[in-house]
Structure 1
Amino acid sequence: MVALAGAGGGGNLQSCPTLMMSLCTLPFEERACFVAGQAKSGTTLLVALLDNHPELLVLPEETAYFPTVLTKYAPRGRRAQFDYLTKQSLSNVLFGGPCKWGKRNYTTFPREKFLETFERAAFDPVNAEEDLLVLMVKAYAAMLGRSLDTVRRWVEKTPANRNHIPAILARFPHAKILVTIRDPRAILAAQIALEKTRKTGRFSTYYVIAHWCVAARLARRVADGEIPGFVVQYEDLVCEPAKMMEKVCAYLEIDFDRATVLTPTKVGQFWSGNSAARIHFSQISTEPVTRWQRELSEDEIGWVEWHCRDLMPEFGYEPRLTRRELRYFMRPIRGERPREYLKSRAYSLRDQITR
């Protein structure tokens, strides 16, 4: 089993002035922290617990900066990248755009002013070589009235950061990396529940298992010390939140304050969760840890274990079924449309052939 708590540092930095001083001497852009993982693996809960920490500046919505802005939109220039961030990414709600999924309440946040401030900075000739993400974070700090000198780490969360860790570290060599991991059977159950509410018709069972395998291999490399970072296991986060958040704070080199990091917030306001089952909570709940055991059929469990069973035990996720059976591969999953069914099986076979 992978040892997941392997991040150094103590929980209280007031006794470590040298550590605090070295962090403060980093330029603001180098005080980055990126959260990676998989959708429904606890990334949003993690940043919600970090959101209100006085030493952190946490972007409350995903930017897809590395997965999309610096890849798809890089050849199209700065204006196209800016437009994606402010109009198409999930962060568009911070600029007055429509919320794509779930409910977001930013009525008290100065969205128009945020857009104006960010745009002015982005296209000021003085900032021509400045990173757009850093300028966005600085504009966000200005909206909150935060001095950059008070920010020990600024935090951006996009689950697909998992695919871009080398690029992140090349661009931000002093960045902290937080990687979330969760039982893949629980993730499938959450995605099935999500498709029931969203009804996108594009639910892909392949991406559930493929993204998990990528995140698991990344978590393994972090735990083995091949990549700098810290692994946050979802089950530990919800079952022992104080213990896990103390370790996270130590890794980020910030003070651990139970009153702050055990209450989830967005932009400082209480956040009741984004449960796929539409269950709101007033405190961190352990119920999602075992929900999959009641909700998934044997065939659905079999689909996950067919693909993930070799990696699962490394994280303490013991397979329930004794072996792979062809029917687990062939049976459709709830919510899976015929087109997505065919694509998922074809992609899975491709992966097994090319592996």
Structure 2
Amino acid sequence: MQAQFPACGESSAVCVVRPQDLRFSIALGERDPPIMMSMQNLPFDQRACFIAGAAKSGTTLLVSLLDSHPELLVMPQDTAYFPTVLTKYRTRGRRAQFDYLTKESWTNVLFGFQAMRGRQDYAEFPKQKFLETFERVAFDPANMNRDLLVLMMEAYAEVVGVPLDRIKRWVEKTPANRNYVSEIFNQFPKAKLLLTMRDPRALLAAQIALEHTRKTRRFSVYYVVAHWRAAAKLAKKIRTKEIPGLVVGYEDLALDPKMSMQKVCDYLEINFDPDIVLNPTKVGRSWAGNSAAGVRFAEISTAPVTRWKNELHEDEVGWVEWHCRDLMPEFGYEPRLNRRSLRYFMKPIRGERPKEFLKSRAYSLRDRLKR
């Protein structure tokens, strides 16, 4: 959603990369009944769109491409609403849920509680006003039975000056939404679901790069493959129309972003304007990406799609393919190695601490026994 704020004093250097030869795969599942309710007749509470996927699979890129669309209201940061607010904080009351969203969730940067490492994505955003507005509507006695996420979106719309009746869909992105699809549709029956998919080997390469930069000492190679498998299984259900939604390939956005975003806009029933949806923004301002490699871009880039081929060692490719090779071909990701080998399972991955190594192998064996 386009929001007007003063321009930055400095512009960032950018690396421009043109799309090259990649693959495209996209699937659509329909959930609307034969007689469809007009979107304009839906109450604001039900005009929801949720984005899900594995970490580093393109969820943030997709959010940035939708950010400035005049018919959408896009929350620029993950809320972890379903994965955390409605699980860990479900019984703790509205104040605890409000405090999590404003102080602990990734959305805390919108309220001024934490500066992102050297980033100025929200330097001009009216954080205090957003905090005060959200608190006012969240604890208004008239709203006590309304959903806190909806009230957060309404407060955001008020702060950026967007009338609610102009919004066809409000958009929330948290990758772990992939695990809460049933809960999402139970709470928001008319919601739209966008699921991003990416080559799991590229996900591992991106996570290795992130750990090299951040040095969290908690890097888990198990979660890289487990989260991808969860997303892949959800994507299969969308393709067979067991679950309503749209699968958007990360590679698709790089090969032919125009075609890919046309399908996204059609699914969301909003106008397709390439001048808007092909230019990534954050809170209406040009955005240069969150590349794990630290590269800044002026437009959608193909570089991250094939980077893993030069960055991953054979054993690292083997770790991914050991766990994911049964599902990879269905999404156009052909295994590089001919077979599984025990050494691919046992050799530590770069950045993996001994404790995380043991946990990852134990969790992996547990999952295999459950299949």
What TM-score, normalized to structure 2? Answer: 0.91
1:66 aligns with 2:88: no
Matched, 1:281 2:297: yes
Q: Which 5+ residue runs of structure 2 have no aligned equivalent?
A: 1-22
**Residue 89 in 1 paired to residue 105 in 2?**
yes
The superposition leaves residues 60-96 of structure 1 with CA deviations (integer Å, 9 ceiling, x where unpaired) of: 0000000000000011111100000000000000001
Is the contact between residue 2 and residue 314 of structure 1 (CA under 8 Å) also seen in structure 2?
no
Matched with 1:256 is 272
Match of 1:166 in 2: 182
Map 1:212-227 to 2 at 5 A: 212-227=228-243
**How far apart, CA to CA, are the structure 2 residues paired with 1:292 and 1:83?**
39
For the pair 1:232 / 2:254, whether they are aligned, the reply is no
* Structure 1 counterpart of 2:53, from 17, 23, 37: 37
1:11 aligned residue: none
CA contact (8 A) 1:42 1:234 kept: yes
Whole-angstrom distance in 1 between the partners of 2:24 and 2:296:
32
> Does the Cα contact within 8 Å between 1:90 and 1:99 map onto a contact in 2?
no
2:328 is aligned with 1:312:
yes
User: Which of 92, 98, 113 is 2:114 aligned to?
Assistant: 98
2:234 matches 1:210: no
- Give the 3-state SS of the residue equivalent to 2:227 in structure 1: helix
Q: Secondary structure at the match of 2:293?
A: coil
1:90–1:100 CA contact under 8 A, matched in 2: no
Residue 4, structure 1, aligned to residue 26, structure 2: yes
Check if 1:46 corresponds to 2:72. Answer: no
**Percent identity (aligned):** 67
Query: d(CA) in 1 for partners of 2:103 and 2:28?
Result: 39
Aligned residues of 2:25 and 2:252 also touching (Cα < 8 A): no
Q: 1:345 to 1:101 in 2, by over 3 A?
A: farther
Equivalent residue of 1:74, what SS? coil
User: Does the C-alpha gap of structure 1 residues 337 and 176 become closer, same or farther in structure 2, counting only changes over 3 Å?
Assistant: same
Return the offset for 1:104: 4.2
1:89-123 Cα offsets, whole Å, 9 max, x none, are: 00000001113567242121111011011001111
Query: Hey, which of these two has a bigger chunk of helix by percent?
Result: 1
Partner SS for 2:348: coil
Q: CA deviation at 1:6?
A: 3.0
Evaluate the alpha carbon distance shift between residue 293 and residue 49 of structure 1 in structure 2; reply closer, same or farther with a 3 A threshold: same
Deviation at 1:3, TM superposition (A): 6.2
Q: What number of residue pairs does the alignment pair up?
A: 345
Task: Report the residue type matching 2:234 in the other structure.
Answer: L
Q: Show the counterpart of 1:15.
A: none
- Distance change in 2, residues 1:278/1:341 (3 Å): same
RMSD of aligned C-alpha atoms? Answer: 1.6
Aligned mates of 1:249, 1:240 — CA distance in 2? 14
Cα–Cα, structure 1 residues 2 and 143, in superposed 2: closer, same or farther, change >3 Å?
A: closer
Displacement, 1:239? 1.3
In 2: Cα distance, 1:116 partner to 1:159 partner: 28
Runs of 4+ in 1 over 4 A off after TM superposition: none
Unaligned runs of 5+ in 1: 9-17
Match of 1:246 in 2: 262
Q: CA deviation at 1:211?
A: 0.2
**What amino acid maps onto 1:263 in structure 2?**
N
* In 2, Cα distance between equivalents of 1:76 and 1:98: 23
Superposed, 1:264-343 pairs within 5 Å as: 264-343=280-359
Does residue 150 in structure 1 map to residue 172 in structure 2?
A: no
Alpha-carbon distance in 2 for matches of 1:92, 1:334: 31
